[in-house]
Amino acid sequence: MHYNAGALATTGYGMALGIACTLNELNVLSHMYFTKTRPYNQGVHLMAVELLEEHIPSMHMCNLAVSALLQSDLGIQAIVVGADRVAANGDTANKIGTYQLAITAHHHNRLFIVAAPSTSINLDMPSGKQIEIEQRDPSEILVQSGFTQSLVATGSLEPASVQVAPVETRAWNPSFDVTPAALISAIITEKGVITKQPNSSKFDLKAALS
């Protein structure tokens, strides 16, 4: 699971986390992994808290380790992500790093599932080409923020920032990327599971949601 798509980001169980919670309640989820989700680390900051509270067996991992995990653990069946915006053809904008997860899921023959409320689907937007990608402040990837271990041990949660690159370093920092519908196995909304027609690389979300 990538990014934070649980109750802290939405309502109820949330989006992608809602799938994990349901599977866990049905006793069919043996284990799940969740990414750090750079640059803001929402995965380890937020998702970790929700998984602990829901008593879901899980393990944190670096974003860049996902391909190695799929290669070594044949028991993993799917990658599940949330969505910030979904076009009418199924192209999906989500936290940066989602696109590369879809690529590795496709390469390793695993399901890649998008979980999103129907309100995130823009039926007036033909494809992901119309989704504008925000460029964020370079400092977000040149500076790391967190809590020092010594302060955490005393119960103090005063954040600290650390410069991790020379101050003259330039950075390209897009907030989101767009995953083509061709790489997505299914889109799950509160209205049900949406899949593509056989031999189609796109979703017909207008028909599915009508």
Catalytically active residues are 84
Length of the chain: 210
Distance CA(14)–CA(50), nearest Å, equals 10
* 66 class by beta-carbon count within 10 Å (0-12 exposed, 13-18 middle, 19+ buried): buried
User: CB of 173 within 8 A of CB of 135?
Assistant: yes
User: CB of 111 within 8 A of CB of 70?
Assistant: no
Amino acid identity of 62? Answer: C
